[in-house]
């Protein structure tokens, strides 16, 4: 299997902070790669660095056959990378429709694609002409994801999509992401919700203090409770 | 050290330059005879104080005000109107001060409470708008201000040039009322600058710097930053009005061009940036450099312009004309903000081997 | 494109119409105060015309601030440059300007306005690259740099054209008034109103109906995300900056014709006026800017008629009153 | 009367999103309460509501018998609510000592003293130096705060709060982003502060080991709601925490 995205020796400094301290990772084509780790471990910074929103101070980032570590964000996006930030970043002053019109960069909205998205997120059809700012948190998250998949992208970078969402919505999201994966997308997904991670992930990377501290198959990690506890700092005592 | 409030220049070169400037100013009546030199020296004193008060705002709180000449003008006009209306006596001088200074402070209080709550950019725009309205007001209320002509007035007997205090045959120099006025200007300006130095190095002054650095955190420490900024604004206005009083006393005149115009505001901005923001000492350096240049380089420009026009060069005579002085200042201003943001004092301190930031021990 | 009927009621946000009602209420309130209906109509027309011109000049400033968080203290320079450039066209064609034919007049006026817009737009390009690019995100330095730019531009105008006031006569066919009963409305004001309204509608259409407009509105809110969707926002910004500068140039020409003179210091005077307008409107809001411009013009015209002395400080009083009501202006832009 | 801090039905909405939803909770002196919950649960927002950086949409906050819901942040700080921030929040170009001195000065009520240079206030200087020694930053006192390492900046952040001499200490992830060897210094400091039984200590923390070692009580926020409150052992073991922390239950995902 080929790797769609590869980072080697990536360091990122933000101001005086040395956040990423040598990241090596690979995202295989057609898989969902989970990026786990506790708060402040550098997960969001990793995604932002890939996206070019923060400049890597050293190291190489390869997307397909292109080196992208010193490219500008719009150019990286145009290579086929979709980004769903942690803050969702929907344009709250624009309607749902307008948000999606902007996201469909190269032409008018594609009806079949749209119907497919509405299948997962009926709320978006319902609030089609409402300001995105008036949506609930879960609906904003759906819009944010819809924006990233309205046109086929080669790679999706998704940052904690289930954060702060009610369980039912989390389920819908998981289903949607599975479907996107079936359609052949490659996803790098930051997640703190371990069950969501277990449901979706093929392979897993765990970060701490700006480096990758574990890499392996999701299934292996899911089966190894002591390892989970050691890596994620979570207690699973109640399940024992 | 206490007179400098524990904040010495912290650079040998800077100390030397400051000492030379101050000694030269103090000895101007004896070293450089002639009305022009004395005028230049007095103007340096007045502007050093005015710029230092502006530095309290710009350098220590990080707020850009365009209303500083308004306060300067209030001081100038107050004393001018009082002396014009009440005649050349000391009661008029006192009235001008007692009315002008509080008026300036009150106006600063109003502007501060009104606009310092929100972003710094609002403050800049609002002060610009208020200052321009004031300027229009001053030129329209001509029964009070003399309109575009301004107000000329007589000084009290003691301060007039004709009053000889110590005749020439005593020391070989004549000490007259004019020279006494100069020393009055010199002493009051020096006092105001020392007072400002005291303020910026007081616990209060440290809070101002804290607000400049991180207003959110200053609030979280329990400082009500709007009040601190407003006090600073009032203090700056008071000193500016004080400088305005001195300016009017020296010129025996107050008018829109000498005390209110927008170009004075730009001069102040330039002086504070050239001298070095957030240092107070920068005001002395900036004022000295700027006013010397203004008085001596401007005539040089005239010569160059004439030469260029005789040589038949296109455009150049117009650009070098002494009236285009501001054009070059503007370019200099942009260049100094861009390449030289810490000003002369910052450069001297940095080059002077001082590694500490803020106050050293 | 799919146009889907909403099956459920949409949670429409309440439209904030209080600011829109403000100028209407003010105008109605003035009817009894002014007494004569014809004077009121004349003054109202004058206010609208003046307001439109101010809006044209201020719109670029507020848009640039909203989009890129840059406050250009030198915006007034574009206005003056626009006016001066127009004199270049007017002077050699003085005869055509004075010809009593609308077509002949317009044949001079239109190219003059276009040239002014082109030159001030080009100047905008230079200013953005040279003065603003190095100081993005630093308000203090932005204020200082652009103030410096204003001085330089103004002084250059003095150097090139001299300190004297240059007359800028209205073309012959635009002089005089339309008389409707006992109401006289100056022809030029009607034209100014027409152009101003056209510019406002054009801006609104672009912002609301085109993808470019969506991009600008989205960029005002979240620049990073627009980039992450693959749009090069730097170019977009430069385009907006140049458009804003060009509009300022157009406003300059119109203002010069309104005053029938050009002077380098007009940039100072107008800088203050447009600042008041964008503060009142809410920094970054086009709609607020439009209402703010009309309000400022109304206060100036009605105030000048009722209490001439007050006219000097009327702008400041208006600003104080509005900010007491809404401390961030009529329409506060959400993201800042 | 003993010190008390209470939130009643505290709620804040951002647009359609309810970030903190009807949280009622009373904090008692001598008790270290850890506030836990997954990312986005509303912990920091809850802190911001208590310390006054945000204004509640509804509900109230009572501190020491007074309703402080509408008070500004500076007034709450003066009343005794001390806060250390999650993202380091200092005066970057002032020296380390000046940073602390400002907090000491605020605590001493010296706000508008402008006639004396600061060095004359030896009391302020001495107290600032003592606190710097306490957090092991004494040797860095005259460098600019911005030049400190991340861990040292966190310590300085805590020093500022100690200098305020608050009645309530609010720590927002005090060890976030610290290297392993720096963590114990901060934890020891918190343990020391715990000795004073008259203070209320609130701690937002992700690391369960830290919570377990320090907390007397845990409250759990999830989607803005208070879902558990009690002894550390029982709260950590409760299913609701498992769900909040680890996501939807496995059977529903199947």
Domain spans of chain C, in order of start: 19-25+35-325
D47 touches chain B (CB under 8 A): no
Residue C333 C-alpha, separation from nearest chain A C-alpha, in angstroms: 10
**Using a CB-CB distance cutoff of 8 angstroms, which residues of chain B are in contact with residue C148?**
330-331, 333-334, 337
Where b means 16+ CB within 10 Å and e means fewer, B44-71 reads bbbbbbbbbbbbbbbbbbbbbbbbbbbb
Q: Is residue B246 within 8 Å of B79, Cβ to Cβ?
A: no
pLDDT at D15 (0 to 100): 64
Residue B97 contacts by C-beta under 8 Å, 6 or more apart in sequence? B78, B79, B245
- Beta strand A81-84 pairing with C166-167: unpaired
**Using a CB-CB distance cutoff of 8 angstroms, which residues of chain A are in contact with residue C334?**
92-93, 133
- How far is residue D219's CA from residue B136's CA, in Å, rounded to a whole number? 63
**Would you call B126 and C279 a contact, using CB atoms and an 8 Å cutoff?**
yes
- How far is residue C110's CA from residue C107's CA, in Å, rounded to a whole number? 6
Q: Is residue C40 within 8 Å of C183, Cβ to Cβ?
A: no
Residue D45 C-alpha, separation from nearest chain A C-alpha, in angstroms: 13
Q: Which two tokens stand for residue B197?
A: 């130095």
The answer on pLDDT for A3 being more than 80 is yes
Q: Which two tokens stand for residue C10?
A: 């949409």
Q: Which of B271-285, B287-301, D59-73 has the lowest mean pLDDT?
A: B287-301
**Using a CB-CB distance cutoff of 8 angstroms, which residues of chain D are in contact with residue A160?**
39-40
Question: Max Cα separation, chain B?
Answer: 67
Given the structure tokens 């450039």, which residue do they identify?
A: C85
Residue B111 contacts by C-beta under 8 Å, 6 or more apart in sequence? B67, B126, B127, B130, B233
Three-state DSSP at D10 gives strand
Question: Max Cα separation, chain C?
Answer: 67
D57 touches chain B (CB under 8 A): no
Is residue A168 packed enough to be buried (19+ CB in 10 Å), middle (13-18) or exposed (0-12)? exposed
Residue D203 belongs to what H/E stretch?
strand D200-204
The answer on pLDDT for B358 being more than 50 is no
Residue D169 belongs to what H/E stretch?
strand D168-172
Highest mean pLDDT among A74-83, A186-195, C163-172: A74-83
Measure CA of the first residue to CA of the last residue in chain D; give whole Å: 54
pLDDT class of C10 with cuts at 50, 70, 90: very low
**Using a CB-CB distance cutoff of 8 angstroms, which residues of chain C are in contact with residue B338?**
134, 145
Q: What is the mean pLDDT of chain A?
A: 86
What pLDDT digit, counting tens, does each position of C172-194 carry?
Answer: 888 888 888 888 889 999 999 99
- How far is residue B154's CA from residue B91's CA, in Å, rounded to a whole number? 13
- How far is residue B61's CA from residue B53's CA, in Å, rounded to a whole number? 12
Residue A160 contacts by C-beta under 8 Å, 6 or more apart in sequence? A86, A190, A191, A192, D39, D40
**Would you call A195 and D40 a contact, using CB atoms and an 8 Å cutoff?**
no
**Using a CB-CB distance cutoff of 8 angstroms, which residues of chain D are in contact with residue B207?**
102, 105, 111
pLDDT at A240 (0 to 100): 31
Residue B116 C-alpha, separation from nearest chain D C-alpha, in angstroms: 16
**Residues in chain A whose beta carbon is closer than 8 A to a beta carbon of chain D?**
16-17, 38-40, 92, 133-137, 139-140, 160, 162-167, 170-171, 174, 192-199, 209, 233-239
Note whether ipTM > 0.85 here.
Answer: no
C133 touches chain B (CB under 8 A): no
Measure CA of the first residue to CA of the last residue in chain B; give whole Å: 13
Q: D15-19 — which CB contacts under 8 Å span 24+ positions?
A: D15/A92, D15/A133, D15/A134, D15/A135, D16/A133, D16/A134, D16/A135, D16/A136, D16/A137, D16/A139, D16/C11, D17/A136, D17/A137, D17/A140, D17/A164, D18/D224, D19/D45, D19/D224
The answer on pLDDT for A17 being more than 50 is yes
pLDDT at B327 (0 to 100): 86
- How far is residue A137's CA from residue D42's CA, in Å, rounded to a whole number? 13
Per DSSP (E only), the strands in A29-135 are 32-37, 58-63, 66-67, 81-84
- How far is residue C175's CA from residue C157's CA, in Å, rounded to a whole number? 28
Q: Is residue A40 within 8 Å of A3, Cβ to Cβ?
A: no
Given the structure tokens 């080059």, which residue do they identify?
A: B351
Span A117-144, mean pLDDT? Answer: 85
Q: How far is CA A216 from CA A212, A220, A223, A227, C47, in A?
A: 11, 7, 12, 12, 72
The answer on pLDDT for B361 being more than 70 is no
**Would you call C233 and A74 a contact, using CB atoms and an 8 Å cutoff?**
yes
**Would you call C131 and B327 a contact, using CB atoms and an 8 Å cutoff?**
no
Q: Is residue D64 within 8 Å of D4, Cβ to Cβ?
A: yes
Three-state DSSP at B247 gives helix
D83 touches chain B (CB under 8 A): yes
Q: Find the CB nearest A166 among D146, D147, D223.
A: D223
Which domains are seen in chain B, by residue range? 2-350 (1.10.3470)
Q: How far is CA A203 from CA A32, A51, B5, in A?
A: 7, 21, 64
Span C237-252, mean pLDDT? Answer: 94
Q: Which two tokens stand for residue D195?
A: 């000795």
Tens place of pLDDT per residue across chain D (254 aa) = 578 899 999 999 876 678 899 999 999 999 999 998 876 788 889 999 999 999 999 999 999 889 999 999 999 999 999 999 877 789 998 999 999 999 999 998 888 888 888 888 888 999 999 999 988 898 998 899 988 877 888 889 999 999 999 999 999 888 776 766 778 888 888 998 999 899 999 999 877 778 888 999 999 988 888 989 999 888 887 887 777 666 544 443 33
Q: Which two tokens stand for residue B90?
A: 């000391």
pLDDT at B89 (0 to 100): 93
- How far is residue B132's CA from residue C324's CA, in Å, rounded to a whole number? 21
Shortest CA distance to D6 belongs to which of D23, D19, D21, D20?
A: D23
The answer on pLDDT for A25 being more than 70 is yes
Residue A159 contacts by C-beta under 8 Å, 6 or more apart in sequence? A43, A44, A47, A84, A85, A86, A190
Inter-chain contacts counted by CB atoms under 8 A, chains B and C: 103
Q: Find the CB nearest D39 among A39, A195, A239.
A: A39
Residue A234 C-alpha, separation from nearest chain D C-alpha, in angstroms: 7
- How far is residue B328's CA from residue B319's CA, in Å, rounded to a whole number? 9
What pLDDT digit, counting tens, does each position of C205-224 carry?
Answer: 998 889 999 998 898 888 89
pLDDT at C334 (0 to 100): 56
**Would you call B222 and D77 a contact, using CB atoms and an 8 Å cutoff?**
yes
What pLDDT digit, counting tens, does each position of C290-328 carry?
Answer: 999 999 999 999 988 998 877 778 888 898 889 888 888
Given the structure tokens 């000795």, which residue do they identify?
A: D195
Q: Which of B315-319, B345-349, D140-144 has the lowest mean pLDDT?
A: B315-319
Q: Find the CB nearest B358 among D113, D114, D144.
A: D144
pLDDT at D183 (0 to 100): 80
Span A133-140, mean pLDDT? Answer: 80
**Would you call B118 and C327 a contact, using CB atoms and an 8 Å cutoff?**
yes
- Beta strand D66-67 pairing with D58-63: antiparallel
> Model pTM?
0.85
What pLDDT digit, counting tens, does each position of B42-62 carry?
Answer: 999 999 999 999 999 999 998
- How far is residue C29's CA from residue C22's CA, in Å, rounded to a whole number? 10
Which domains are seen in chain A, by residue range? 3-92+153-233 (3.40.50.300)
C206 touches chain A (CB under 8 A): no
Chain B CA closest to residue D87: B217
Instruction: Provide the H-helix boundaries in B146-214.
Output: 168-171, 177-200, 203-213
**Using a CB-CB distance cutoff of 8 angstroms, which residues of chain D are in contact with residue A162?**
247
Whole-number percent of chain A with pLDDT over 70: 94
Chain C CA closest to residue A91: C218
**Using a CB-CB distance cutoff of 8 angstroms, which residues of chain A are in contact with residue D36?**
none
Vertex D247 angle, CA D244 and D253, to 5°:
140
Shortest CA distance to A16 belongs to which of D173, D201, D145, D7?
A: D145
Q: Which two tokens stand for residue C316?
A: 């400041």
User: Phi/psi class of residue B5: alpha, beta or left (left: φ > 0; alpha: ψ in -120 to 50)?
Assistant: left
Torsion B282-B284-B287-B288 (CA) sign: negative
Shortest CA distance to C245 belongs to which of C67, C80, C135?
A: C80
D and A interact (at least 3 Cβ pairs within 8 A):
yes
């Amino acid at each position: 299997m080929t790797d769609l995205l590869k980072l080697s020796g990536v360091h990122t400094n933000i101001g005086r902070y040395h956040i990423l301290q040598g990241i090596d990772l690979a995202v295989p084509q057609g898989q969902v790669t989970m990026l786990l780790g506790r708060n402040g471990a550098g997960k969001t910074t990793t995604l932002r660095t890939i996206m070019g929103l923060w400049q890597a101070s050293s190291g190489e980032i390869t997307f397909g056959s292109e080196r992208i570590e010193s490219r500008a964000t719009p150019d990286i996006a145009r290579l086929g990378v979709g980004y769903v930030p942690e803050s969702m970043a929907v344009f709250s002053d624009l309607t749902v429709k307008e948000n999606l019109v902007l996201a469909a960069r190269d032409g008018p909205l594609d009806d079949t694609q749209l119907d497919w998205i509405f299948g997962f997120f009926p709320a978006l059809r319902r609030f089609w002409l409402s300001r995105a700012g008036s949506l609930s948190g879960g609906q904003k998250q759906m819009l944010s994801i819809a924006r990233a998949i309205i046109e086929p992208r080669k790679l999706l970078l998704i940052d904690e999509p289930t954060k702060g969402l009610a369980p039912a919505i989390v389920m819908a999201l998981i289903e949607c992401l599975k479907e996107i994966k079936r359609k052949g997308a490659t996803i790098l997904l930051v997640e703190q919700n371990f069950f969501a991670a277990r449901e979706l992930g093929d392979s897993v990377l765990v970060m701490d203090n700006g480096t990758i501290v574990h890499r392996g198959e999701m299934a292996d990690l899911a089966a190894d409770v002591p390892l989970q506890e050691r890596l994620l700092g979570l207690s699973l005592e109640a399940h024992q | 050290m206490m007179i400098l409030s524990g904040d010495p220049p912290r650079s040998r070169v800077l100390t030397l330059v400051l000492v030379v400037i101050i000694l030269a100013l103090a000895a101007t009546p004896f070293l450089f005879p002639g009305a022009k030199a004395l005028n230049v020296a007095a103007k340096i004193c007045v502007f050093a104080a005015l710029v230092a008060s502006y530095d309290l705002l710009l350098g220590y709180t990080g707020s850009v005000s365009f209303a500083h000449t308004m306060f300067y003008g209030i001081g100038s006009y107050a004393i001018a109107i009082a002396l014009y209306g009440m005649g050349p006596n000391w009661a008029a001088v006192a009235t001008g001060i007692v009315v002008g200074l509080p008026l300036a402070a009150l106006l600063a209080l109003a502007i501060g409470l009104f606009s310092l709550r929100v972003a710094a950019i609002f403050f800049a725009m609002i002060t610009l708008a208020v200052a321009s309205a004031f300027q229009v007001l001053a030129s329209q209320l001509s029964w009070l201000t003399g309109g575009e002509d301004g107000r000329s007035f007589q000084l009290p007997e003691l301060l007039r040039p004709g009053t000889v205090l110590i005749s020439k045959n005593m020391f070989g120099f004549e000490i007259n009322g004019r020279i006494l006025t100069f020393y009055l200007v010199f002493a009051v300006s020096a006092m105001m600058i020392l007072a400002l130095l005291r303020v910026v190095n007081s616990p209060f002054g440290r809070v101002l710097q804290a607000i400049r650095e991180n207003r959110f955190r200053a609030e979280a420490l329990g400082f009500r930053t709007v009040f601190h900024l407003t006090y600073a604004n009032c203090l700056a206005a008071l000193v500016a009005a004080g400088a305005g009083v001195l300016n009017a006393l020296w010129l025996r005149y107050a008018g829109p061009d000498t005390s209110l115009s927008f170009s004075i505001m730009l001069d102040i901005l330039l002086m504070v940036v050239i001298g070095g923001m957030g240092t107070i000492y920068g005001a002395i350096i900036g004022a000295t450099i700027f006013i010397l240049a203004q008085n001596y380089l401007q005539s040089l420009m005239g010569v160059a312009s004439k030469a260029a026009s005789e040589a038949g060069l296109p455009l150049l005579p117009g650009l070098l004309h002494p009236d285009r002085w501001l054009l070059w200042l503007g370019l200099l201003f942009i260049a100094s903000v861009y390449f030289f943001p810490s000003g002369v004092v910052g450069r001297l301190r940095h080059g002077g081997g001082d590694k500490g930031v803020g106050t050293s021990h | 494109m799919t146009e889907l009927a909403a099956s459920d009621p949409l949670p429409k946000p309440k439209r904030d119409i209080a600011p829109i009602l403000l100028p209407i209420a003010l105008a109605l309130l003035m009817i009894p105060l002014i007494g004569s209906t014809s004077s009121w109509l004349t003054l109202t027309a004058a206010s609208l015309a003046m307001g439109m011109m101010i809006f044209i000049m201020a719109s670029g400033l507020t848009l640039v601030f909203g989009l890129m968080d840059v406050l250009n203290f030198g915006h007034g320079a574009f206005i003056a440059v626009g006016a001066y450039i127009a004199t270049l066209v007017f002077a050699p064609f003085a005869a055509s300007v004075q010809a009593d034919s609308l077509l002949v007049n317009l044949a001079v006026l239109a190219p003059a306005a276009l040239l002014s817009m082109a030159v001030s737009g080009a100047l905008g390009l230079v200013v953005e690259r040279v003065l603003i690019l190095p100081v993005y995100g630093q308000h203090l330095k932005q204020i200082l740099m652009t103030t410096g730019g204003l001085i330089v531009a103004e002084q250059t105008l003095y150097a090139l054209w001299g300190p004297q006031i240059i007359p800028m006569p209205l073309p012959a066919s635009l002089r005089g008034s339309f008389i409707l009963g006992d109401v006289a409305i100056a022809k030029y004001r009607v034209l100014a109103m027409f152009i101003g309204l056209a510019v406002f509608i054009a801006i609104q259409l672009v912002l609301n109906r085109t993808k470019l407009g969506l991009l600008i509105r989205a960029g005002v809110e979240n620049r990073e995300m627009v980039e992450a969707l693959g749009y090069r926002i730097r170019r977009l910004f430069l385009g907006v900056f140049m458009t804003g500068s060009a509009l300022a140039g157009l406003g300059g020409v119109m203002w010069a014709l309104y005053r029938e003179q050009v002077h380098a210091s007009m940039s100072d005077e107008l800088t203050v006026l447009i600042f008041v307008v964008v503060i009142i409107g809410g920094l970054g809001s086009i709609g607020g800017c439009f209402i703010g411009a009309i309000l400022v013009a109304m206060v100036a015209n009605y105030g000048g008629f009722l209490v001439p002395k007050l006219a000097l400080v009327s702008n400041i009083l208006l600003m104080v009153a509005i900010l007491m009501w809404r401390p961030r202006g009529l329409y506060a832009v959400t993201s800042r | 009367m003993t010190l008390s801090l209470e939130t009643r039905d505290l709620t804040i909405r951002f647009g359609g999103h309810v970030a903190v939803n009807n949280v009622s909770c009373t904090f008692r002196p001598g008790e270290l309460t850890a506030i836990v919950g997954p990312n986005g649960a509303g912990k920091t927002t809850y802190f911001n509501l208590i310390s006054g950086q945000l204004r509640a949409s509804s509900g109230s906050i009572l501190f020491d018998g007074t309703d402080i819901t509408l008070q500004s942040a500076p007034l709450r700080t003066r009343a005794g609510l001390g806060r250390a921030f999650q993202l380091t929040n200092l005066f970057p170009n002032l020296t380390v000592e000046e940073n602390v001195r400002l907090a000491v000065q605020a605590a001493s009520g010296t706000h508008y003293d402008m006639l004396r240079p600061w060095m004359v206030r030896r009391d302020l200087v001495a107290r600032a130096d003592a606190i710097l020694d306490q957090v092991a930053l004494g040797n860095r006192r005259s460098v600019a705060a911005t030049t400190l390492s991340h861990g040292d900046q966190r310590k300085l952040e805590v020093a500022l709060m100690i200098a305020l001499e608050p009645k309530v200490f609010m720590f927002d992830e005090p060890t976030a982003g610290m290297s392993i060897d720096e963590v114990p210094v901060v934890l020891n400091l918190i343990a020391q502060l715990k000795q004073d039984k008259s203070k209320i200590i609130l701690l937002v923390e992700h690391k369960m080991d830290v919570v377990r070692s320090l907390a007397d009580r845990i409250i759990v926020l999830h989607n803005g709601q208070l879902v558990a409150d009690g002894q550390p052992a029982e709260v950590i073991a409760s299913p609701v925490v498992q769900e909040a922390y680890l996501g939807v239950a496995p059977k529903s995902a199947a």
